[in-house]
Chain A
């Protein structure tokens, strides 16, 4: 027994070190809540745009808006950065954009749960869902949603009819233990200098400008405006961005062959839960840059996942009376290279074309 205690004493300092760094730095904000400046809430109330720092915590802001303020709108937009540009002006209806960077299905489920918990779901009329293919891949390597862990777990178990089977139980066991994860430790080490310097510095400057040259602007409906130098970059610069991002993009679903059974169950229950409250649901399928699309279309067997997801979404929408705008195929949307800022994002003009008249359908 003495020897076992000695072995534990040898291992323990290492474990304490890893847990300490992970909990202190906590790059995904799993164990702490970053306070969001009230300045931004005040600006939203007075219909003012904000120039923002690029590393502000968008998930914390959304959570605060839903759970701690009375800010609401009859229409909400959900999705990733690919849906973040959808504004009230584009939709033609007062809206709140709740998109978060690299949204996973877990983010969307958690945000919906927050709407239910806050009672705001009862006042909603429309939900515009910008759907990325990777949300149907269980192994998309996205972990940022873990700051929404509790809301997500609640929504997940609800959508599963509280089916606490072993597989899911183990999954949550794993999710709740970021503190001893090696991958999380490496992310923590990278973020450590910023954490010591109390980064991210939240920089919110009220502005009347609709767009800024080098910084993003957050509109009062929480929709996102890319910096001018990013949106109107030279085609060569856009091409460079695409080349750099290509591998990362296909990595989000390359290993998956079919939409995950678990995720489709959660997704369908989510939509049906919205519809049961009398909410009109709309799907937006934002296209990929033609460079990316062509690479995938050239090898349909390898990238069958993305084609299957689109077919599945359109079938599901058709069966449940949900209007759909767009396609992952840029050609099907009538878009070419010029409409894209990078591999994943269309510019604001193309967004307006894509969404045009959606809520009237």
Chain B
């Protein structure tokens, strides 16, 4: 069920009616049932796995003893959830690496448990593990089973996050009583902004990227075509994910639940470390808090810090998918950050010597953007071989005369009107990011704070652009696959 479909719209309207018209606590029961119907619409197995993980999470985080007291239940519950994650996300990958596991994997796929892929398991799995660890640390424990199950299965964010913390979401889910018109209106504006970016920018670029990166096409693509496709993908993945996040935050806001931001203008970063403080914040902060700090963080010397960083990014790569492409992508980022740690001394001196130097800052931004874009090649390619092939083409066949030749852009199979609308949406996104940096206000927040007439005009413009020129139905959200 797509987030922009009639079925989903009906589900949301129904959920809003339950949320605001049904008295407490029945409204939460209704919302939980609707969330489960949403998951069930993907497959019955997805619902079973969600229930299993919710049960394990609830038992694991339920606090009856002193938080500091050692109890095997934390470990058992976390291992159980990790096992489910391992089986559904990585069993196939490891069975290809270890031939002796092949028969076991085939048997699993032939069983009723192997017939489906549990939707959103990578996202709510981490949320639930986080809640157990928080409980163990004595930070938060949720006793109300209804609230906890709603936290694990909250339908707007179950597909692709953001990865919620029980300590943030549970209190909000408990307090579902009063109706606030502003929440409804602001949520709607946020949702519409996401739809606009998704269908006028991300999905248009998706077509352009596919014409060069598809294994059928990559062999005949030129270095120049691949260069542009790589830059397009750098924009596409951000636009796609930021649009999804706006939509999910908007949906939740309509219910009076504020989710934390997941992006903070990542492509305005001047270092890869800064990039990761701004990109997919819910995942990077989860990894920092539950993996990096558990390994010792930066407290055990420079070498150990670098090793810990590499481990965290290896895990991050593996979380994105059971493929060497994602592992290489993760390790590349780990390597970038390790180098930044090693070079932090000279860089600090340079910054002190030339504070706010535009040329140096511009160079730092460019290097960061290029490094991140380069890593996306591994993320987007169908295989490692493809990625190396693309890199070799980029290295030896970029031609300026080809780029400036007439008809260069026709290869991307995007019509002129779609290019124009995508360029406009891109500018809107750039302005949104700049404003986010200057005033901590992204595009939806800016529209929300505008006068009524401006809100109406801007929302109508965005919806009109999607209606007439949106690349509707061409692709799912990229992060749905993880």
- In the assembled complex, A173 has its CB within 8 A of some CB on chain B: yes
A14–B460 contact, CB under 8 A? yes
Instruction: State whether the Cβ of A361 lies closer than 8 Å to any Cβ in chain B.
Output: no
B435 within 8 A of A: no
Assess whether B467 is in contact with A186, with CB atoms less than 8 Å apart.
yes
Distance in angstroms between the alpha carbons of A166 and B460 in the assembled complex: 34
Number of A-B contacts (CB under 8 A): 56
Q: From B4-12, B24-32, B155-163, give the one contacting chain A.
A: B4-12
Whether A166 touches B40, Cβ cut-off 8 Å, given contacts A18-B467, A182-B467, is: yes
A180 in contact with B6 given A166-B40, A167-B41, A299-B215 (CB within 8 Å):
yes
Kindly state the separation between the CA atoms of A180 and B4 in the bound complex, as whole angstroms. 11
Given contacts A7-B185, A185-B467, contact A170 B41 (CB under 8 A): yes
Would A3 and B181 be within 8 Å (CB), given that A18-B467, A182-B472, A183-B473 are in contact?
yes
The residues of B that contact A197 with a CB separation of less than 8 Å are none
Bound state CA distance, A166 and B1, in angstroms? 13
Taking the closest CB of chain A, its distance from the CB of B472, in whole angstroms, is 5
**A3 partner residues in chain B, CB cutoff 8 A:** 181, 185
Instruction: Please tell me which one of the listed residues A167, A177, A295 contacts residue B6 in the complex, with CB atoms under 8 A apart.
Output: A177
Interface size class of B (residues with CB under 8 A): 20 to 34
CA distance A3 to B181 in the complex (A): 7
A228 to B181, CA, bound (A): 65
Q: Let me know if B184 and A182 touch, CB within 8 A.
A: no
B256 located at the interface, meaning its Cβ lies under 8 Å from any Cβ of chain A in the complex: no
Query: Do A182 and B181 touch across chains, with their CB atoms under 8 A apart?
Result: no
Interface check B463, CB cutoff 8 A? yes
How many angstroms from the CA of A306 to the CA of B96 in the assembled complex?
A: 23
Which residues on B sit within 8 Å (CB–CB) of A4?
Answer: 181, 184
Q: Which of A18, A141, A171, A182 has the most CB of B within 10 A?
A: A182
Q: Give the residues in chain B near A171, CB-CB below 8 Å.
A: 7
Which among B6, B115, B181, B473 is the interface contact of A174 at CB below 8 angstroms?
Answer: B6
Q: Are B466 and A170 in contact (CB under 8 A)?
A: no
> Which residues A165-201 have CB closer than 8 A to chain B?
166-167, 170-171, 173-174, 177, 180-183, 185-186, 189
Q: Which residues of A contact B225 (CB under 8 A)?
A: none
Q: Is B468 at the interface (CB under 8 A from chain A)? A: yes
Q: Is the CB of A166 within 8 A of B37?
A: yes
Q: How far is the CB of A80 from chain B (nearest CB, A)?
A: 21
Q: Which residues of B contact A173 (CB under 8 A)?
A: 6-7, 10
Interface set of B (CB-CB < 8 Å, partner A): 1, 4-7, 9-11, 37, 40-41, 115, 181, 184-185, 188, 199, 215-216, 456, 460, 463, 466-468, 470, 472-473
Residue ranges of A at the interface with B (Cβ–Cβ < 8 Å): 3-4, 7, 10, 14, 18, 141, 166-167, 170-171, 173-174, 177, 180-183, 185-186, 189, 246, 261, 295, 299, 302
Task: Name the 7 nearest CB pairs between A and B, nearest first.
Answer: A174-B7, A177-B6, A3-B181, A183-B473, A183-B472, A182-B472, A174-B6
